[in-house]
């Protein structure tokens, strides 16, 4: 049965429907943002839709089973003859990344086509899917995006600290005898 605390995604074209992929699971607090649907076409008619390998976006330690049938059962590569795993980012990491200006946890659904169009024209976009490239290059791009968000967040923290320090300096400078403002008369105060 389905976990009611999860958001699932599927792709459809003509009369074909993909299996489900989980995008967000509130129970485990995991986000699976990377999805690529591979639509197989023969003479312009969709034959089927498979999910591409989503583990290319992360290290294997971050790759978990993430494909379900419409009853809610987890599927395996052996059961459905297609990749079934996906990379996750924790909800806490997503909050931090978002605070740093990153969209890394936003759903990224890519669609590629393979086979032939009407009249036998070859469809080549599947040659440009992420899994067609070396995984280390894809992981570097993801890591660079995360590092940029962390740098942005650190910059915001520094800006906030500087603003608080400046405010504190302004307040203390305006209070007599607290490091700032002098009483009228300057050096003669308190002398008799």
pTM, two decimals, is 0.64
Residue 147 is predicted with a pLDDT of 65
- Mean pLDDT of all residues in the chain? 79
DSSP-derived 3-state class of residue 22: strand
pLDDT at residue 68, as a whole number = 92
Res. 88: pLDDT tops 80: yes
Largest Cα span, the chain: 107
Chain segment 41-87, per-residue pLDDT in tens: 999 999 999 998 888 878 889 899 999 999 889 999 999 988 899 99
Residue in the block written with tokens 């440009």: 128
- Three-state SS annotation for 141-162: HHHHHHHHHHHHHHHHHHHHHH
Q: Please give the average per-residue pLDDT across 14-28, as a whole number.
A: 93
Measure Cα distances from 159 to 93, 136, 154, 167, 176 in Å.
21, 34, 9, 12, 28
Nearest to 145 by CA among 93, 110, 91: 93
Q: Look at residue 133 in the predicted model and tell me its pLDDT.
A: 47
Q: Which helix (H) or strand (E) holds 173?
A: helix 135-173
Q: How confident is the model at residue 156, as a pLDDT?
A: 67
pLDDT, residue 55, reads 86
């Amino acid at each position: 049965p389905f976990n009611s605390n999860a958001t699932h995604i599927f792709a459809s074209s003509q009369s074909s429907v993909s299996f489900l992929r989980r995008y967000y699971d509130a129970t485990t607090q995991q986000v699976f943002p990377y999805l690529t649907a591979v639509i197989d076409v023969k003479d312009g008619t969709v034959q089927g839709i498979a999910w591409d390998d989503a583990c290319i976006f992360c290290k294997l330690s971050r790759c978990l089973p993430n494909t379900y049938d419409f009853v809610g059962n987890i599927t395996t590569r052996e059961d459905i003859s297609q990749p079934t795993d996906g990379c996750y980012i924790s909800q806490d990491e997503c909050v931090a990344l978002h605070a740093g200006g990153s969209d890394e946890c936003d759903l990224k659904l890519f669609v590629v086509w393979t086979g032939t169009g009407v009249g036998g024209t070859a469809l080549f976009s599947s040659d440009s899917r992420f899994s067609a490239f070396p995984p280390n290059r894809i992981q570097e791009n993801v890591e660079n995006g995360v590092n940029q968000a962390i740098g942005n967040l650190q910059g915001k923290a520094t800006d906030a600290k500087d603003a608080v320090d400046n405010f504190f300096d302004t307040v203390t400078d305006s209070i007599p005898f607290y490091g700032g403002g002098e009483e009228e008369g300057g050096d003669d105060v308190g002398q008799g």
